[in-house]
Structure 1
């Protein structure tokens, strides 16, 4: 993958040029449904997380309440800060862009910013452009149809960054927190069925939100890049399964060891994060992400260092084979260490539960199956180098000659 938002985030003079739009530039029912699902899934995930935080507070479990609330607010603040930055740099119309949006929406926009719903605001923007394009299509106004379709894709390109941040700064850490709480409390023999149900709802909604964010991001990435072939739906499914399964394994492995040694887990994650930030600084130091602005460069790398706790996101074009080998080998070793700790140090009460052995098997199987999907994607479905792409180009060449 290649990051599509660096010019929007960091270079005020840059204007994204989106190509690869379909020849008719038509908004489909799937496009509109996608925005609606994105809005609903985000809101549902937020509601379930807030509800769980309230349950902890109501049960006088203040440490769990504070950590759950913190895992909601901190990523949301980061998302809002990035969203506001995008508004200022959008199409080079810095002050006017944000001022117009705030003045037009007034109190509604203020509520969205206060309650940390920045992605929802961007989803609504893209949905409005989609509906306007559909209306222009019905009125046979081809010029407006293409204009609003392009604006929809550009807006969706902006929200792609927020999707990634939401996925790996909020949904994934929230799952780790709630799973580690479940394993820890069950290991102590504590069982509250009502709270357990709300924990499962929060975990499930976070998984759905993360899965949808990853699936929609992967496909949009290629649509918005210049001189890049779009990913087929089969390729999108392969990428989704690759990232989803590896991330599930990663989340489960961190959760089980965090339920036993929470302080050491935080320390290990901090060391992993710091190592990833240094690796990113070294491997991409010549790419000039933020126009020589050292503050934004540092923030950019620290944010993606957190993402690299869970998955790899390439920040530039070029060969990624050895980067993948290094990164996923590191994850594999860390996951194995986590599972050894879980097997050796888990409480006897936990070992007697129904989920103990399935977790051991799932953690190993999901990781290696995810890697298998990655190999299949690159060997068969990659839009530039995959077997299907080469076959298509060969057929097109045969027809032209």
Structure 2
């Protein structure tokens, strides 16, 4: 028997722009006329890529275009991409909330979805009543729901308010209860959009731990959309990147995250800087460029805490220089220096005339979760500056999970180095 529990085949979704989103009588009649004559929908031949940042010429856009993938039983599939890439549209199609324009979804088993805060909840009904209502919508019998009721209430942390109408719940309480229902009613496929961001840190820790139990312990399938790369990395076994409604990449989750972060980092002032004719005051040194790269040489500005960062400086010595060094400083948004590093141990000797490349690696688990400004200067200690201090680029550090953790700690301070701790029995 095949291990494939969900298959998306040639999924396309087209939307019409404007006030009337469902079309016009003229268009509906035209579609009907083509259909009874056995011809294809004429509006499928038109439409543009869904790039929300650009003004288009067509009234039709492709929210999704030619989406094909398979999900195995027990797999956790991450779906990542920028806002407007088509992630939520895809999940709505998978959850049967909306239908694809063309293509089909084949599934085996029951699907539970958590797409928006409070979806499927009636505001006038109590939390307890909504558990039964939501469970019935998911296809559960009353006996099955009753068996899980106490466990759901305990997990949600809303026991005190469980007999209070949901309209009086905060958004965080609603998403807690909604997630508890979806996760405990034993669906074969659990579809989760970026709703965990509404919850607090305690709830996110519980929710991610529960999803790990669902996939690894209970062997059920999870489709997970998130902008939290650490959560995707921790939870998912495979990932898909959506870009303008198309699949730009699918494969191992580590490769997907690297690809996504590199695509998010446009080669601009923030990730690579070119210096045209940037000469030192006495024309001894010309700075050509500086860039931030990953270990594979891809130019990026965003990095996980668990990644090594390589800073590459390309410069030209216009004559022989002795005793020169480059200095880099990483500063916080408040212009406080987190740390500085120098090339003096490799450039203190003679630098011959010509082009040179200087590289320094920033070790993983050193920088904290924040944006750093990188400042550069060069000179001969005790004599003169060759390049006076200038801010050259930004580097964004994204939080990451520690080993086997399900919670991203927000550590104070400009750095959060990973230290080696030892434990001994005094015995």
Question: Higher relative CO (CA 8 A, sep ≥ 6), structure 1 or 2?
Answer: 1
User: Which TM-score band (shorter chain)?
Assistant: under 0.3
Higher strand share: 2
Higher helix share: 1
Of structures 1 and 2, the larger Rg is shown by 2
